[in-house]
């Protein structure tokens, strides 16, 4: 796991350094290099998410009822990744208002997806409480 992180960081530094060197001579080539490197790294990220999804699916076979939560977890992770990537791209285009809108949209999507988990958690808590505490009598 650590090797993959170091490899990804190394690729990012190499692409950034080469793009910085190319920027003076050919800005279009530097932009294409950064774009192709970003596409490659996003592809690697998608492959890792698929591997994690497979492991999570395998784990749900051992624990009953975990599949519902694992699907919600994957949706939240994908929304977080996509919104973070979009926020950084829009900030590079010097559009802070759009970045803020994307950030809030991602947060609201995560909230709406995770809300059923919160409701079920509250139901479980109420089932654990004694009946007289729920009615307001101590």
Does 46 or 106 have the greater pLDDT score? 106
Give the global pTM.
0.64
Average pLDDT score over residue span 98-123: 89
* pLDDT given for residue 39 in this prediction: 87
Q: Are 81 and 95 in contact (CB under 8 A)?
A: no
- Residue 66's pLDDT band (cuts 50, 70, 90): confident
The percent of residues in the chain predicted with pLDDT above 90, rounded, is 12
- Residue 81's pLDDT band (cuts 50, 70, 90): confident
């Amino acid at each position: 796991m650590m090797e993959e992180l170091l490899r990804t960081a190394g690729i990012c530094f190499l692409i950034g350094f080469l793009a910085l060197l190319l920027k003076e001579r050919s800005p279009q080539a530097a932009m294409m290099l950064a774009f192709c490197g970003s596409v490659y790294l996003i592809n690697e990220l998608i492959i890792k998410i698929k591997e994690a999804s497979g492991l999570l699916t395998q784990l749900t076979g051992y624990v009953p009822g975990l599949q519902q939560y694992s699907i919600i977890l994957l949706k939240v992770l994908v929304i977080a990744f996509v919104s973070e990537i979009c926020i950084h791209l829009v900030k590079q285009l010097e559009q802070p208002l759009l970045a803020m809108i994307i950030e809030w949209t991602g947060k609201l999507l995560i909230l709406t997806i995770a809300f059923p988990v919160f409701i079920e958690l509250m139901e479980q808590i109420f089932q654990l409480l004694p009946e007289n505490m729920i009615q307001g009598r101590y």
